[in-house]
Structure 1
Amino acid sequence: MVNPRLISDILSLTSSEDTVEIGCGIGTLTIFLINRVRSLACVEYDERMIRVVASIVRNPRFIPVRGDALATGVGRPQVVSNLPYHVTSDMLIMIARDNSVSKAVLTLQKEVGDRLVAKPGSESYGRLSVIVQLLFNLRVAGVYHPGSFIPRPKVASSLLLLERRRTYDRVVEKVEHVTRALFSQRRRNARRVAESRLSLSAEVLNRIIPSDKRVFELEPEVFLALAEELAST
């Protein structure tokens, strides 16, 4: 991350809470972030980068951790990350499931950012949109040119603010199941797909799912209602 404006925009969204930075690289964000938060743990997979950032950020409130964030988890109220492209979806689900996270400030591929804030009926709308929108209030805080990073990616990036509005519980766990089942046939009639994929009565499905809607046209609240029915059985 080498764009000063992007770094400044990220810092403006963070609060002073205990924070985890996922993937600190050589510390171009870390050296500023440590001065804004109560404590900062950095989870970095590359051992070379850990050595570099540990030599640059010399502060007793800084904790460098060599590891895989998908395995270590977050465990702190705030997470900041320029999410690795190849594991972005997995990272988002991991953050969503971790109720200790109340705020996430994330830089990710613009395409993924568009998916997260997509509205029902749009091409970008999918199961990740539903899960994240049910759990968080989202805001796109900016879009940044590939030149904001070294190495330079091939696509633009978005900066997103996620603030938790609901805890991950047994019902949301069922939302994961419902979205996985229904979005496998996203363009088919939603009620017919649900009849074949979910263990719910026709009476319940008729009450919750509009008869004329296809799967990708359903509001997040419809998936939640289906999950609540499954969780109560």
Structure 2
Amino acid sequence: MRNDLFKFRERFDFSPNPFEIGRPVFRDKGSADNFFLLKIYDLPQTSYDEFYCYHLKYFIDKYPGEERYFHECVNDIVTTRIKYYQSQNPFSKKHSTNIRSLESLGSFRNIFSKHDKWNSSTPVSDLLIEKDFEIEHLRTRIKELEGQIKECLKYEPSEKISISRGNLATFMDLLRQIRTLQLPNGTKMLTAQGYSSAYKMVSKYFAHGDKDIPFGTAQNYLSPDTSSKYIEIAEKDKIFQITLKHL
């Protein structure tokens, strides 16, 4: 582990940055991990994220692209010290101090683990549980989607309805007429919030001879007459007239 992970205070600097570590006179960089941990014990928990980011920036300014290394080193330092405190005699005179230190380290680990992009600070057992949960969730979702697909396929025809070649405009004219039909009581026989359902239906379920009807073509025929896409149908293609039967 490198001994220049963290930013030390300058010698005889009695007004250092609150996140810098070390003593004002002697700088024992071989004990950088201990100084780093001492700072964690002294700082309020609300400063932990800023403290971590301060030293991270210091390190990656010198070693660009080494963020993961820094994170893993900090994780190793903190985890090792947590294990140390957990192994101490709970009846020793230092027990209350050890508990406070342990709580600080636990809180700090929760904070800096949010910067873990590589799951390097997450125990393997926790990762496996998380992955099992994700897999089970995906299996359930797959079953739901398979059921939806199966339900949709029930209404899928094996082949499209073929419009006699050369009579696409005539067919579209009939659809336009159907769209405007009114019942004896004056209400429209067919209603829809827009026009898209009609041209989507045509493009999906009908063919012109042996060729599919492009979505754009159906849209042009069945758009409202105020649309720039609207296609006028020639009089020669208007060979049918739908009329209301009087009873």
- What TM-score do you get using the length of structure 1 for normalisation? 0.24
Greater relative contact order, per chain length (Cα 8 Å cut-off, separation 6+): 1
Judging by fraction of residues, say which structure has more helix.
2
- What TM-score do you get using the length of structure 2 for normalisation? 0.24
Judging by fraction of residues, say which structure has more strand.
1
